Amino acid sequence: MKKSYEELPVISSEVVNGEHLLLGGTLPGWPGRPVKPAFFYKRRYTWDGDIIIGCTIGCSFCYYRWINNTFMTIGRGRKGLRRIGEPAEAVEFLEQSRLFAPKRDIVMLCARSDGSMQISEITQFLHAFRHPSWVFVLHRAPFGRRQLEEWGDDERVVFSTTITPKPPESGPDSWTPIKPERQIEGIRFLLREGIPHKRISLMLGPFNSNNVDAGVELILRLGEMGFRFATYRGCSVGNFGVAPDRDRLRREGFLDGSQDESSAPGGHDYYKMKNWLAPAVEEKILRAGEEAGMRLHRFTGTLYKKEYGVPVAYNRHNRWRRELGQWRRVDPARLNAYLRWLGYHPRSIKETEDGYFVELPETEVATEDVAMTVGAEFRTSVLFNNYRIAPSLGDLRFYAENHLFWPLPEGWEEVVEYYQRR
């Protein structure tokens, strides 16, 4: 039975799984040598990573507030920022990771931070990263001249921002301190300076019944500015050892009283409510998109496939994601060879109505990192008998042995051994 996040402990010192360790490293008070976060901690539709983790902005609904090895990096000023390493090392991580393919994959920088806090580091990354991949730079703070001068001439860079309209009655410190008006000014600046609309990626939301009307106005305005696509999202709440401040979230109107607060799909360790939108709220958003002449994407998979022409997996959470369309038929022998190159030993691969079903030995598990890599490689849907959304701590051994993510942060084995002995 799922627990509401309200029933979870206020704080826990546990590392929940392997992705949790890669995301934030060891916790304060860890008895062994500290282990840094990984430069890139997951591969879904994109490779999500950073050179610096932490954010001075401190949105009240930030995922990383609710994670016990990152909460101290959010909204604590520059003293909360943590440098993982050198930008060139982040490039080396990708180049040495077997799951990465430069002509196929998108790199998403500042997944645990904000681009405004690591401008020079991003530039250094771009100079070292000599591959044709799209590089999305997440940057909630308004764009300005420095960002343009540093990244504007690099056609791989997509200036990515999330715009969150606040409910009219919410206070100045609620939701996010970043004002949409200033973000729009920064976007207009990029457009005036010649950055094409396609190189500006907009995520709108999170939306609920309290701010959807402001969201409608925002969508219409963006349409007038010439944008023809954007993504939108609902509200999410999670917990990796730090309980959300539910009183604050209700007071600010982020939790509007109508949401299903335990609606995350099964198998998630972190999410308790994931991308939740009431049908009436979503209907308003989609109507506004039609009026504005914009294609609005609920899921980033359709954005990357349709707007950026990137190969994507047609599977998600070990099922065929139908909104992506019909998956491609491929020779099972090619799937078998690719999986063996990754270190797996398939017993059988069968074509089904939902894609290719791979039977692995009992000792082998395909994580979402792997499943989405294989699906993207063949532009098809690949499902597994043994599957996990995120790697367990034990799965990191398989990642290391086969260099799926490589190199893992120094000291990771000590953490795995510690938790496996308990």
Q: What is the pLDDT of residues 302-331, one digit of tens each?
A: 999 999 999 999 999 999 999 999 999 999
Q: What is the pLDDT of residues 104-136, one digit of tens each?
A: 999 999 999 999 999 999 999 999 999 999 999
- Supply the DSSP string of 45-86, one letter for each residue: SEEEE-SEE-BSS--TT-GGGGBTTTGGGBSS-GGG-EE-S-
Q: Shortest CA distance to 80 belongs to which of 42, 1, 125, 24?
A: 24
Q: What is the pLDDT of residues 127-164, one digit of tens each?
A: 999 999 999 999 999 999 999 999 999 999 999 999 99
pLDDT higher than 60, residue 382? yes
Cβ count within 10 A of residue 331: 10
State the pLDDT confidence band at 2, using cuts at 50, 70 and 90: very low
Residues near 381 by beta carbon (within 8 Å), at least 6 away in sequence: 313, 314, 315, 320, 321, 327, 354, 355, 356, 375
- Supply the DSSP string of 80-142, one letter for each residue: G-EE-S-HHHHHHHHHH-TT--TTTPEEEE-TTS-GGG-HHHHHHHHHH--S---EEEE--SP
State the pLDDT confidence band at 231, using cuts at 50, 70 and 90: very high
Give the pLDDT score at 1.
28
Give the pLDDT score at 234.
97
Over residues 91-103, the mean pLDDT reads 98
User: Is the pLDDT higher at 33 or at 195?
Assistant: 195
Give the pLDDT score at 7.
40
User: Contact, 161 vs 208, CB < 8 A?
Assistant: no
Give the pLDDT score at 268.
82
| Distance, C-alpha 356 to centroid of its chain | 25
Over residues 80-108, the mean pLDDT reads 98
**Minimum mean pLDDT range among 10-24, 66-80, 276-290:** 10-24
User: Is the pLDDT higher at 3 or at 237?
Assistant: 237
Q: What is the CATH number of domain 5-308?
A: 3.20.20.70
Q: What is the pLDDT of residues 240-294, one digit of tens each?
A: 999 999 999 999 999 999 998 888 877 888 999 999 999 999 999 999 999 999 9
Q: Shortest CA distance to 41 belongs to which of 86, 104, 99?
A: 99
Over residues 51-63, the mean pLDDT reads 96
Give the pLDDT score at 11.
54
pLDDT higher than 70, residue 367? yes
Q: Is 166 exposed, middle or buried (0-12, 13-18, 19+ CB in 10 A)?
A: buried
pLDDT higher than 80, residue 3? no
Q: Residue 13 and residue 132: Cα distance in Å, rounded? A: 41
Tokens (6 digits) for 407 = 């190199």
The model's pTM? 0.95
Tokens (6 digits) for 259 = 């949401």
Collapse the DSSP code of 144 into the 3-class scheme (helix H, G, I; strand E, B; otherwise coil) and give the result.
coil
Q: What's the whole-number average pLDDT of the chain? A: 95
What DSSP designation does 342 have?
Answer: T
**Percentage of the chain lying above the pLDDT 90 cut:** 90
State the pLDDT confidence band at 10, using cuts at 50, 70 and 90: very low
Over residues 192-208, the mean pLDDT reads 99
Q: Domain residue spans in the chain?
A: 5-308, 315-408
Q: Which amino acid is at 270?
A: Y
User: Contact, 265 vs 386, CB < 8 A?
Assistant: no
